[in-house]
Structure 1
Amino acid sequence: GALAAYAARAGVEAHVFMPRDTPRANIVECRELGAHVTLVEGLITDCAAEISRRKANEGWFDTSTLKEPYRVEGKKTLGYEVAEQLKWQLPNVILYPAGGGTGLIGMWKAFDEMEALGWIGQNRPRMFAVQPAGCAPIVRAFEFGEESGAEVQDAHTIASGLRVPKAIGDFLILKILRESNGGAIAVDDEEMIRVAREVGTREGLFICPEGAACFAALKLLRSAGKIASGECVVVFNTGSGIKYLEAYDRGVGG
């Protein structure tokens, strides 16, 4: 949606490729903003393959994850905002929903920059990547001590932003998780829906499944003793539940 909006404002033609079963709100949003939307049978990796096949002949600039330098620079602002809002004291733990994982990569870069500027010290948060049980290549690679992850076959989850069978920057993500003494954890779809409903009824926030996965992961990590009472924890919610009405409507206990 953001790409389509910025392209429209700049008067630039945008081509957006999505899996055919992408949540309807995302498809409609891009079309209404003037983008040329192509629905692809398969996963986001199949969309990337189609773009790669056509971009040279079409003269397209590829804005896919880590195919250009600007997304990490944009995601880097997450790290700056966390530090600023916590009065330049980084939290003990950050939980982030990792599909392509550029948020983790960007924040880690931001922390190094802020230390070089003298704004923060050497301490870093323990970084945790949260993934759905049906598509958790980072979790598996972390648990098996691998430097990069194998592509997940039959990837499935209601959290479409996390249905990435293999992240192009997985080696960077895994390095960050290990350097920070953090980790990776998987959450199943039913728990995402249950926790999203819990957050909604208690806090008045209609969060996306990706964010719900992080709140669920927080509970699991607390139970496992990996996050102690009194520690400062930042949990990222990366979107609105409005984009997932079909998933929540079909959810458990609905």
Structure 2
Amino acid sequence: MLTLLETATRLAQLHCAACHQTYSPHMLQSVSPCCQQPLLAEYSLQEPLSRVDGIQPTENSMWRYQQLLPLQNAAHRVTLGEGWTPLLLLPRLGAQYGLRSLLLKDEGQNPTGSFKARGLSMAISKAKELGVTGCIIPTAGNAGVAMAAYCARAGMRAVVVMPRHTPNAFKEECYWYGAEVHLVDGLINDCAALVRQLNADNALLDVSTLKEPYRLEGKKTMGYELAEQLNWQLPDVLLYPAGGGTGLIGIWKAFQEMRALGWLAADVKLPRMVAVQAATCCPLIETLAGHQANCHAYVGQATIANGLAVPRPLGEALMLRVLRESGGTAVSITDEQMLEGMRELARQEGLFVAPEGAAVWMAARQLLASGWLQPHEQVVLLNTGSAQKYLENVMGRFQD
């Protein structure tokens, strides 16, 4: 019988995303020692678990799915109420463009203003459970803010490394949370190089995208929520802004877990997944087009969508797998198109979305015009954050 502090979880083991070698979830882990690839959490899904028993309906946060999350002890939960964000119908834009059902999941309503709250809540909770006292992260903005907030909540040291050109709103918030902030001339891959130098003694846990197993587990809850909010159906197409790609990978992982549990009916078809990138930083698209073998040497440039400026994502192979398995695709969007999308969503639907969120809407328009997306299909856009922190990027660029 569980004690009051124990958490019902079906976490069984971790496995390497490349070769499936297994590792213990009861000790600190980074990338897999075997292949230097992400480690994925694996759950015991063979035993029956109904939706009624598997979901805590009074928990209006991502922790309603705690049995399918990796935390072993509820005393270590570090939460600010993340998750359970609204799924909004966009009737005016849908009608304007002839889409039968256009929806947007608004992750800008999370604590710290972005979807990064989910992943960092989970990563910091698990780090606390495993005895970690400090964390370090390279970030384009939102992840650093989220890590700083959750480290403050947990009483941990936080070291954030971000590009110097990151809007001041992100930097200031990190300072307010008490984080140690280092600024770098370059993109997130340059920040990662400084993280390796600063943390050469491994005194801090590096919570870089996919370099520890648990940010992914927080992000996957978007998939569980989406299914629950759609009454255990799924959309035809889901568009996601993919920089590091953790959310894209995590949502697809959630769909697979729900299918294995029987939470999705046998006739429920999984959506085609669309990865949306910035035109100035689109390594996934270059790899898909055959212009490069992989992203390892790709050189990107800055964009107003800071979260999309990830030139060499560790999870590239996993993202490509999601697109292949789902029959999806990848699309690149220019900064000017993002600004157009921000204006349209604000004026037509009253939503002030991050440039990343505007990019997915413009990608939907592009795919609809090409015929890849059909008017009768149900489409879900994933907006990853609020535009408030990006005002410095878009100031003076409004056009009537």
Q: In the alignment, is residue 137 of structure 1 matched against residue 304 of structure 2?
A: no
How many residues are aligned here? 254
| Counterpart Cα distance in 1 of 2:293 and 2:226 | 28
| Counterpart Cα distance in 2 of 1:145 and 1:165 | 14
**Judging changes above 3 Å, is the alpha-carbon distance between structure 1 residues 145 and 135 closer, same or farther for their aligned structure 2 residues?**
closer
Give the structure-1-normalised TM-score. Answer: 0.96
| Counterpart Cα distance in 1 of 2:296 and 2:396 | 31
Deviations 1:38-58 (A, max 9, x none): 111111001111111231326
Q: In the alignment, is residue 72 of structure 1 matched against residue 197 of structure 2?
A: no
Deviations 1:83-111 (A, max 9, x none): 01111111110000000000011011111
Structure 1 range deviating more: 134-143 or 183-192? 134-143
Q: In the alignment, is residue 56 of structure 1 matched against residue 200 of structure 2?
A: yes
Contact persistence 1:94–1:125 (CA under 8 A): yes
Give the structure-2-normalised TM-score. Answer: 0.62
User: Which ranges of structure 1 fall in alignment gaps of 5 or more residues?
Assistant: none
Contact persistence 2:304–2:394 (CA under 8 A): no
| Counterpart Cα distance in 2 of 1:70 and 1:200 | 34
**Judging changes above 3 Å, is the alpha-carbon distance between structure 1 residues 115 and 223 closer, same or farther for their aligned structure 2 residues?**
same
Query: What residue in structure 2 maps to residue 246 of structure 1?
Result: 392
SS in 2 for 1:56: coil
| Counterpart Cα distance in 1 of 2:291 and 2:215 | 28
Q: Higher strand share goes to which structure?
A: 2
Task: Give the structure with higher Rg (CA).
Answer: 2
Letter in 1 for 2:317: F
Structure 1 range deviating more: 21-30 or 55-64? 55-64
Contact persistence 1:132–1:162 (CA under 8 A): yes
SS in 1 for 2:357: helix
| Counterpart Cα distance in 1 of 2:187 and 2:361 | 26
Q: 2:236 pairs with 69, 85, 92, which one?
A: 92
Structure 1 range deviating more: 235-244 or 150-159? 150-159
Computed over aligned residues only, the root mean square deviation of the Cα atoms, in angstroms, reads: 1.5
Letter in 2 for 1:156: A
1:103-252 alignment to 2 at 5 Å? 103-120=247-264, 121=266, 123-144=269-290, 148-252=294-398
| Counterpart Cα distance in 1 of 2:296 and 2:284 | 9
Q: In the alignment, is residue 82 of structure 1 matched against residue 226 of structure 2?
A: yes
| Counterpart Cα distance in 1 of 2:227 and 2:347 | 29
Contact persistence 1:159–1:209 (CA under 8 A): yes
| Counterpart Cα distance in 2 of 1:165 and 1:9 | 31
Q: 1:37 pairs with 156, 175, 181, which one?
A: 181
Query: What residue in structure 2 maps to residue 9 of structure 1?
Result: 153
| Counterpart Cα distance in 2 of 1:89 and 1:56 | 47
User: CA shift at 1:146, angstroms?
Assistant: 6.5
| Counterpart Cα distance in 2 of 1:101 and 1:227 | 22
Q: Higher helix share goes to which structure?
A: 1
Letter in 2 for 1:56: A
**Judging changes above 3 Å, is the alpha-carbon distance between structure 1 residues 54 and 71 closer, same or farther for their aligned structure 2 residues?**
same
| Counterpart Cα distance in 1 of 2:239 and 2:374 | 14
Deviations 1:10-58 (A, max 9, x none): 1111000000001111100011110001111111001111111231326
Deviations 1:174-219 (A, max 9, x none): 1110111110000100010011011101111110000000000000
Q: 2:169 pairs with 25, 32, 46, which one?
A: 25
Deviations 1:115-160 (A, max 9, x none): 1110113621100000010000111112228663354324121110
User: Which ranges of structure 2 fall in alignment gaps of 5 or more residues?
Assistant: 1-144
| Counterpart Cα distance in 2 of 1:175 and 1:63 | 23
Give aligned-pair identity as a percent.
52
Contact persistence 1:15–1:35 (CA under 8 A): yes
Deviations 1:58-84 (A, max 9, x none): 601100001111111001101101101
